[in-house]
Structure 1
Amino acid sequence: MELEIALNARKDNAMKNAMKVGFVGLGSMGRGMVANLQKAGYQLVVNDLSQAAAVDAIAAGAMWAETPREVAEDADLVFTSLPMPADVQAVSAGTDGLIAGLSEGKVWVDTSTNDLDVIRELHGILVQKKVYLLDAPIGGSPHNTVRGDIIFWVGGEERAFQLAKPALDAISENALFVGECGSGTITKLVQNMFSLALLSVQIECLSMGVKAGVDMLPLWKALRQGRLGQMRTFDLISAGFLPNKLDPAKFFLKLAEKDARLALQIGRSNRVPMKLCSAVHQDMLEALNRGWEMRDAQSFLELQMERSGLPPSFLTQEEVDAVKEST
């Protein structure tokens, strides 16, 4: 048994030494993923708009590439982690783009929360080059990335998923294959739209209770002990909205709005009525028009309190944590 474990470990190390991983986009999510890949023993070549973003990765042994194309040419497996669909298009196109550098048999894993149409367009182009594309958006925060417990929802060819899985596992062991290319993007947008709509409904109902005369803290505590609350649904607002910790942002409102917009776009494309989700998106747009782009994703919930003639929630983090610890 010990010999088998040793042989498997040797085989795993040999594969890591043989495979070079490319990474484009070392922002708040990308840096943690790169660090975990390096800890696992992978050789990396990296690129970002700013070389300063890659200082830690380079210090840990990563090679710097001047363009996305150089990353694609030098690596067997390429990851991208970028904030907007337009950013993915920018690094993929042109003579210095990823597409120009990718060759037959290579795998591109896009971990960005992307536009489904962009993913499908890129897939169509890469199929002609016999290059695999996996759309693998992430569930989790930068803290989850560092801890290695983010979730990947992965769409694409299953053979490509198996090729990329050892590297995905080095980042997090929660990589779930959900279907053909585009399926990962759809799954992520469903998840984010559901979360945003659920947050909005919670605040609408809480504002009703507070306006009718129940203080926020006992109301929230009581709801947490009900059937729905026991599923910890109401804990979604415990770190941001309730203690009014919306600045600095854990996740920017402008990015949350982008996710909602892309989800509604899928609904429209498939003639799916989404009345509640559309109303949530309208609130997010109103918040953006107030200049709240860089505030936390939960900041738009303050609009419901304002419409109800109520101040923003003013509970302390200690009060919120005490309720969570007691129930």
Structure 2
Amino acid sequence: MIVGFIGLGMMGANAARNILRAGYPMVVHDIKPEAGKPLIEAGAKWADTPAEVMQQADVVVTMVYGPKEITQVVSGADGFLSTSCEGKFWIDLTTSSPKLMRELAAEFKAKGGGPVDAPVTGSVDAAIRGDMPMFVGGEDQDVEKVRPIIEAMGEVRRVGAYGNGYVAKLVNNQLWKIHAAAIGEAMVAAKLSGLDPEVWWEVMKGGAADSFVLQHDVPSIFAGHYDPSFPIALCLKDLSLIEELLVETGNRCELTRATHERFREAGERYGMGAGEMTVCKVIEDDAGIDLRVEGDWVAPWKVQHPTETKKAD
């Protein structure tokens, strides 16, 4: 199968590279042509529009910024739906609105295509290694047809019908952002009370306070870069989608809204390009303390794919 890939940001480019590593011929597109150069050098071909990608590929993977961008890719003037989709498959990794995506998927299916949603969790290091957990929704026959391509990027976590992947991704990120905001308050309280930050981190892991955020993201606070590979702008986009889902379901969302406000504050103070964990820097700076810890804290974007690590050895 020829695989198309649209959306070559930090996560998308690494996911696409892993599909190439798996031996699939590839055609790529991004709104920034320069984003495709490393993949073209690795063997991919370039297409000027999403429609051209669909024409040339059997399976198209998309990973763009959000609802506005994916709508343009699918139903814009040069989108998927402007050309034949018969017998083609579409795997979407975008964090987006479940309601919107179910509508777009229905249009794609009506044109003879097979839609699969597979939003990812983890971080850029998981995209580099090719072990991203992926929330996969869709009809069984469609998922099984494209499973090898999904598994080239990460781990399949089946969530049922199409659209459920977007729901799983949003509530996943809801907990992620709440944990991130709470960690700042806990770290600062611990240090002000005399507990060394690194000691605090070591004793929290494995207990009731543990989470992916605690394990993975606290070192970015120690290092002082706060992980700019996932900027505040993306956090705010996700939190808006999460609140939209909670309102649609009629659910209470006080904790989510408080978290959203804390991330807004971080964006106002440090800029929309600042790292996600600057949500903790807000508390750190207000307390007038420094949570830096000396150490070899490897940044997520500097992790290598296992094959590259073996070459280095």
- TM-score interval, normalised by the smaller of the two chains: 0.7 to 0.9
Instruction: Tell me if the contact between 2:18 and 2:153 (Cα under 8 Å) persists in the aligned partners.
Output: yes
Structure 1 residues 18-54: Cα deviation after superposition (integer angstroms, max 9, x where no partner): x211111122122222222222221112111122211
1:235 maps to 2:218: no
- 8 Å contact from structure 2 (residues 184, 279) kept in 1: no
Q: Distance in 2 between matches of 1:24 and 1:215?
A: 45
Task: Name 1:129's counterpart in structure 2.
Answer: 111
TM-score, structure 2 length as denominator?
0.86
TM-score (norm 1): 0.83
Equivalent residue number for residue 224 of structure 2: 244
Matches for 1:45-194 after TM superposition, within 5 Å? 45-172=27-154, 174-194=155-175
Measured after TM superposition, the shift of residue 231 of structure 1 is 6.9
| Structure 1 residue aligned with 2:244 | 265
Task: Determine helix, strand or coil for the equivalent of 2:215.
Answer: helix
Q: CA deviation at 1:67?
A: 0.9
Does the 8 Å CA contact 2:85/2:108 hold for their aligned counterparts? no
- SS of corresponding position for 2:16: helix
Shift of 1:319: 9.4
Query: What's the CA shift for 1:185?
Result: 0.8
The residue number in structure 1 matching 2:269 is 290
Greater relative contact order structure (CA < 8 Å, 6+ sep): 2
| In 2: Cα distance, 1:246 partner to 1:55 partner | 28
- How far has the Cα of 1:293 moved from its partner? 0.9
Cα offset, 1:215, TM superposition:
4.0
Aligned partner of 2:311 in structure 1 is none
Q: Residue deviations 1:100-132, cap 9 Å, x none?
A: 124222111111111223212212322322322
Does structure 2 retain, via aligned residues, the 8 Å contact 1:108–1:132? yes
Matched residue SS, 1:317: coil
Asked if 2 retains the 8 angstrom alpha-carbon contact of 1:158 and 1:177, the reply is no
Q: Distance in 1 between matches of 2:144 and 2:205?
A: 41
Distance 1:50 1:294 in 2: 18
Structure 2 CA distance for aligned equivalents of residues 62 and 40 of structure 1? 13
Residue pairs, 1:19-38, within 5 angstroms: 19-38=1-20
Q: Percent identical across equivalent pairs?
A: 29
Partner of 2:244, secondary structure, is: helix
Q: Which amino acid aligns with 1:283?
A: R
* Cα separation, 1, equivalents of 2:167 and 2:18: 26
SS at structure 2 position matched to 1:315 = coil
2:164 maps to a residue whose letter is S
Distance 2:118 2:59 in 1: 13
Shift, 1:232, TM fit = 7.3
AA aligned to 1:255 is L
User: Cα gap change, 1:65/1:258 in structure 2, threshold over 3 Å: closer, same or farther?
Assistant: same
Q: Could you tell me which of 286, 289, 296 is aligned with 1:311?
A: 289
Unpaired runs of 5+ residues, structure 2, are 299-313
d(CA) in 1 for partners of 2:98, 2:210: 34
Count residues in correspondence: 298
* Aligned counterparts of 1:231 and 1:246: Cα–Cα separation in 2: 17
Q: Distance in 1 between matches of 2:297 and 2:140?
A: 47
Question: How far is the alpha carbon of 1:213 from its aligned partner?
Answer: 4.2
1:137 is displaced (CA, Å) by 0.8
Instruction: Give the alignment's Cα RMSD to 1 decimal.
Output: 2.3
Q: Which runs of 5+ in 1 are unaligned?
A: 1-18, 321-327
AA aligned opposite 1:317: G
What displacement does 1:270 show?
A: 0.4
